[in-house]
A = this chain, B = another copy of it.
Amino acid sequence: MARATIAEVAELAGVSQATVSRALRGVGKVAPKTRAKVEAAADRLGFTLSKSASSLASGKTMRVVLLFSGKLNEWFNANVLQGVCEVLEPEGYDVSPTFVTGRQETERYFAQLPKNRNADAIIISSFQLDESAREKLRVTDMPTVGVNIPAESFCDAAIGVDNYDGMSKAVRLLKSLGHQRIAFVVDYIPDDMVYSTSQRMEAFLEAAEQNGYDDEYAYVITADEHDAPLSKADLAAQLVAKLLSLPHMPTAICAETDQVAIAVIKELGKQQLHVPEDISVIGFDDADIAQAANLTTVRQNPLEMGRNAARKTLSLLRGQTPDASYESQEATLMLRDTTRRVATDRS
């Protein structure tokens, strides 16, 4: 392609570069006739404004970075990304998905963050950041919005699911179904990552207490500490082993996520424990796999979170304060086939 410049368009249209610029961007006062001329000329030359040149001249990069903890092909992240793109791209922004896996990469990323002037804003998803990283974020002059980030935060705005709400609903369901011993199963949680998981654990315990489960009736089962991530199958094997070696086996389990729930169900099956006949299981997320496995679960909506975060970002970018800077999404219980009223032959 011939790469036309604004100058050629100006010449063809018989106006100045400045006018072309104004006309094409739709800013400032420009006569309808002039605009038409310019647009015709631009069209004929197959001309588009150069993003690089615009950025340089205006100081706006028209880019927003979307930082994930984990991979882009994870259900949650992919949905947030889709949501963000849906609202940001029509506004002319490029979204630049980035991801870090593990502690080291995270540190490295935040270490070099302050000097990054190559984006207008940053959206960060599902991080549990240490003080040093938070500090780095604070000193950045970029608007920062968080998705599933602790509320007492260092972000200008944030959106997340209400894990407390979600776990309460799960626990109340189990209570209604007559379950007297319940457990929360969860992978080992490194203290510096994965925010939502630890919050769900706390929420489970709190909800259990509020619903009258004493300590010995509501367990938390955690995997042993490990460095390399465990396969879900291995994790489930470990968790089920711990479950089965409990003084009293619970009749219902809440899992950290759908993934873990499904892995646990498979492992239980290997031990001839059937779900939901012998034991009920509830997941968290309502990812695609939950439907495929007919899993009762607590639904969150990362797609909508992404859209919401992007809207907040847009506000910030315009120098406004978002309507509700810190928002929390209600969680929904999805009743499917892995929960059941407890057998009546127990006291």
Could you list which residues of chain A lie within 8 angstroms of chain B, going by C-beta atoms?
Answer: 1, 3, 46-48, 50-53, 55-56, 61, 63, 71-75, 77-79, 81-82, 85, 89, 94-99, 112, 114-118, 139-141, 262, 287-293, 303
Q: Is the CB of B85 within 8 A of A78?
A: no
Stoichiometry (number of copies): 2
A85-B97 in contact (CB<8A): yes
Give the complex CA separation of A81 and B96 in angstroms.
11
Among B48, B72, B114, B117, contact of A50 (Cβ-Cβ < 8 Å): B117
Q: CA A291 – CA B231 in complex, angstroms?
A: 13
Shortest distance from the beta carbon of A48 to any chain B beta carbon, whole Å: 5
A1 pairs with B140, CB closer than 8 A: yes
Which B residue's beta carbon lies closest to that of A65? B94
Assess the A73–B79 pair: CB atoms within 8 A: yes
Q: In the complex, which of the residues A48, A52, A74 has the most CB atoms of chain B within 10 Å of its own CB atom?
A: A52
Q: Known contacts being A72-B78, A85-B99, A288-B288, is A94 close to B63, with CB within 8 Å?
A: yes
Q: Is the CB of A1 within 8 A of B82?
A: no
Seed contacts A1-B117, A53-B56, A56-B56; 10 additional CB < 8 Å A-B pairs: A1-B114, A48-B117, A50-B117, A72-B81, A72-B82, A75-B288, A94-B96, A289-B292, A290-B292, A292-B293
Can you name the residue of chain B whose Cβ is closest to the Cβ of A119? B51
Partner of A289, one of B71, B77, B140, B288: B288
Contact of A115 among B47, B72, B82, B114 (CB under 8 A): B47
Q: Give chain B nearest CB distance to A200 CB in angstroms.
A: 20
Chain B residues in 8 Å Cβ range of A291 = 289
